[in-house]
A = this chain, B = another copy of it.
Amino acid sequence: MRPTPRAETFPVNTPAASQVFTTVLSQGPLARLEVARRAGLSPAAVTKAVRPLIEAGYLVEDADEAARPALGRPANLVRVDGGRALFIGVKVTGDEIIGVLTDLCCRIRVARHVPLPDRAPKVVLASIADLVKELLAEADGAQARTQDQDPVPVLGLGIAVSGDVDRGEGTVRYSPFLEWRDVPLAELAAMTTGLPVTVDNDVRALTVAEQWFGAGAGLSDFAVVTVGAGIGCGLVVHGRVVAGAHGVAGEIGHVTVDPAGRLCHCGNRGCVEAIAGEAAIVRQIREATGVELADAAEAVALAHRGVAGAREVYARAGEAIGRGIATVANLLGPERVIISGEGLAAYDLFAEQIREAFVAAAFGSAAQCDVLTRPLPFEEWARGAAATAIQSFIRADV
């Protein structure tokens, strides 16, 4: 059985060390000098910050013979030892819970889905506890097979929930999806699992994952747009994820793109989500073609078969998304916008419209913003939760 986790803490908590670690974590193996440049520190500071991290096993040296320079001493690359620690990320949706076991580099080791019979906090909490137990057992199993000396510790649990979440407090203030209000989830989950728990909004968690381990690595200003059941948006400004003064931020889904458009569940007309959300697309295709659709997959299939009405619905959805992205670009001027989410399964159906609408509605050099897609698996959300746990562990200022 896995021993009660020691309260292992990150060996350093100075600004410089934290910055060095996150730089190495997110920007791959780097020479110390290069780390110094990117983190804005002196080489000496990097050396001094790296040493205790290597001693503690979080970083390892890693000379690469490939990129050896023609001249001068070759660099001693430093990288994070992913196998040094494990984390668990959990994403709670309306009807299932997805959990992943990741290493310190946030690479997914194991993924599990469990159905959620009920949305009451107690039930969800019990399901999370079961899932965590299962993932811990999995971690132990891997342990036993490799016969390592020291057991790899699981150092944190991140939980991602949609809605208004106070990460600092670890509470879910209001989640319309789960019908929760003021649930101190971090505290509860810490009690049942014995792990340090971080709770954050799901889109923000995904954004953290992109910021550190994805297409946002090294950027100080970018946006993540998720296309799926809802349309969400995570924003990174000045290198930090935007949380919003009142818990609301990145609600691109409820940006109005057509005031005469259809009614959205938020009460407004012509929100991006009311045009390009999964439910909206299914409904519109049903209305346009008369075909009864069970889910979004069937809608995609129909459109792929070239049914005109269906294709048009997707085209309009793409236009709405492109406009929404242009709005973000006009307001914030990000370096990059990353489109992701399970809705990308239909990406070929609206890729062109997104781009066209974006370019048309982007003002001036905002159109230079780099828009790219990342077809990420659904576990990515849970991975985002794990990323928040990693972030909390290394005490990076959020």
A interface residue numbers (CB < 8 A to B): 164, 174, 221, 233, 235, 237-238, 240, 242-252, 254-260, 266-268, 323, 326-335, 360-361, 363-366, 368-369
Other-chain contact of A330, B254, B323, B330 (Cβ < 8 Å): B254
Is the pair A237, B248 in contact by a Cβ cutoff of 8 Å? no
Sample (15) of A-B pairs whose CB atoms are under 8 Å apart: A164-B364, A221-B244, A237-B238, A237-B242, A242-B333, A247-B365, A248-B363, A248-B364, A248-B365, A249-B331, A251-B366, A254-B361, A254-B363, A258-B259, A327-B331
Give chain B residues whose Cβ lies under 8 Å from the Cβ of A252: 330-331
Provide the bound-state CA to CA distance between A238 and B365, in Å. Answer: 24
Closest CB of chain B to A174's CB: distance in Å?
8
Closest CB of chain B to A14's CB: distance in Å?
14
Is the pair A330, B245 in contact by a Cβ cutoff of 8 Å? no
Considering only CB atoms, which chain B residue lies closest to A252 in the complex? Answer: B331
Provide the bound-state CA to CA distance between A366 and B243, in Å. Answer: 12
Closest CB of chain B to A280's CB: distance in Å?
16
Is the pair A245, B361 in contact by a Cβ cutoff of 8 Å? no
Provide the bound-state CA to CA distance between A252 and B256, in Å. Answer: 13
The listed residue with most B CB atoms (<10 A of its CB), out of A238, A255, A369, is A255
Other-chain contact of A332, B221, B235, B256, B368 (Cβ < 8 Å): B235
With A237-B237, A248-B329 already in contact, 6 other A-B pairs whose C-beta atoms are closer than 8 Å: A174-B365, A247-B333, A248-B364, A251-B363, A268-B360, A328-B331
Is the pair A246, B330 in contact by a Cβ cutoff of 8 Å? no
Give chain B residues whose Cβ lies under 8 Å from the Cβ of A369: 245-246
Give chain B residues whose Cβ lies under 8 Å from the Cβ of A251: 330-331, 363-364, 366
Closest CB of chain B to A235's CB: distance in Å?
7
Give chain B residues whose Cβ lies under 8 Å from the Cβ of A248: 329-330, 333, 363-366
Give chain B residues whose Cβ lies under 8 Å from the Cβ of A334: 244-245
- The 6 A-B pairs at the shortest CB distance, nearest first, are namely A244-B333, A251-B330, A254-B363, A245-B335, A246-B365, A249-B333
Provide the bound-state CA to CA distance between A329 and B366, in Å. Answer: 20
Provide the bound-state CA to CA distance between A221 and B249, in Å. Answer: 11
Provide the bound-state CA to CA distance between A249 and B334, in Å. Answer: 9
The listed residue with most B CB atoms (<10 A of its CB), out of A243, A245, A251, A258, is A245
Give chain B residues whose Cβ lies under 8 Å from the Cβ of A238: 237-238, 240, 242
Considering only CB atoms, which chain B residue lies closest to A251 in the complex? Answer: B330
Closest CB of chain B to A74's CB: distance in Å?
34
Provide the bound-state CA to CA distance between A238 and B249, in Å. Answer: 13
Is the pair A235, B327 in contact by a Cβ cutoff of 8 Å? no
Q: Given A331-B251, A331-B252, is A164 in contact with B363 using a C-beta cutoff of 8 Å?
A: no
Give chain B residues whose Cβ lies under 8 Å from the Cβ of A243: 333
Closest CB of chain B to A298's CB: distance in Å?
29
Give chain B residues whose Cβ lies under 8 Å from the Cβ of A329: 248
Give chain B residues whose Cβ lies under 8 Å from the Cβ of A328: 331
Is the pair B266, A363 in contact by a Cβ cutoff of 8 Å? yes
Considering only CB atoms, which chain B residue lies closest to A222 in the complex? Answer: B245
